[in-house]
Structure 1
Amino acid sequence: MKKTALRAGAAMLTVAAVLGVGSPALAVQWGSQSSPYIAYSNKVAQAKGWGDYGNYNNQYARDNSYQYDAKAGGQSVYVHVEFGFFLKEGYSGSFKETARTTSASWVFKQVQVSLNSQSEKSRGTTQVCEDTAYSWDPCSDPGYTSFSY
């Protein structure tokens, strides 16, 4: 489980709108392979990640990610996603984390939650982290992606 608190950072807010009923998917990219989110520990890159957050079949908010262990074979890396929904009476959210990996190659992982029927907008808060024992997990600055449905 992620042991860090969210930190404010220079992450960019991206917003997209879903048009039409039954559209198969609309996803907004966060990071890229050439410019990934990076988790540092003592100024040394530990974990890298990038992917997209979006609406899948008007049923799920899904995060597809690629993660990479910058110090392969050491502590495992994962992507932490907070799935949020804007409701008339406030905000509701939960989080999921991808399975861990220690691979020195990009590894695809996916997490999703059902869309909230009481909402019309979802926001994903995404970080890539290194799972460290007996210590706080170093994580990248959070990134924010949103979509309406």
Structure 2
Amino acid sequence: MLGKTYDGQICSIARSLEVVGERWTLLILRDAIFAGVTRYGDFQHNLGIATNILKTRLATLVEAGLMTRDDAGDYRPTAMAQGLRPALIALTEWGDTWFAPDGRPIDYLHADCGEPVHLQTRCEQHGKVPPDQIVVRPGPGMPADYLAARRPVRDR
């Protein structure tokens, strides 16, 4: 069984997974962010999730700062959770490509005009970049001792 932390990983994906990597968590956030679900009972009804799991996930989201809970018992996504919108759209588009044989079950639309919204990877100089044209390099948060000890990685 996998642990809940990725202490040996120097990676923002790994750190993010520590908070949102459990499958119910992303579905709870999806419903809160895009469908406006705030009530415990509505989350439970919509997701069909066991009450003990839902209680734990909501408490974890509140503790991590992704949701707040008001005096009436409503759960609301914070700015941190709202920042996941692009990631959720990216996961949806990936799922639409590979796992939606009958077509997209939902569309994301621009609230002002109603036109579809899609995610793109963009270069500041050249505009749209195909995903297979993206490479990585160490960023400013990479510890120097990690860089000194790592094996060289080929550009792909």
The TM-score with structure 2 as length reference comes to 0.20
Larger Rg, first or second structure (1 or 2): 2
Name whichever structure is richer in strand by fraction.
Answer: 1
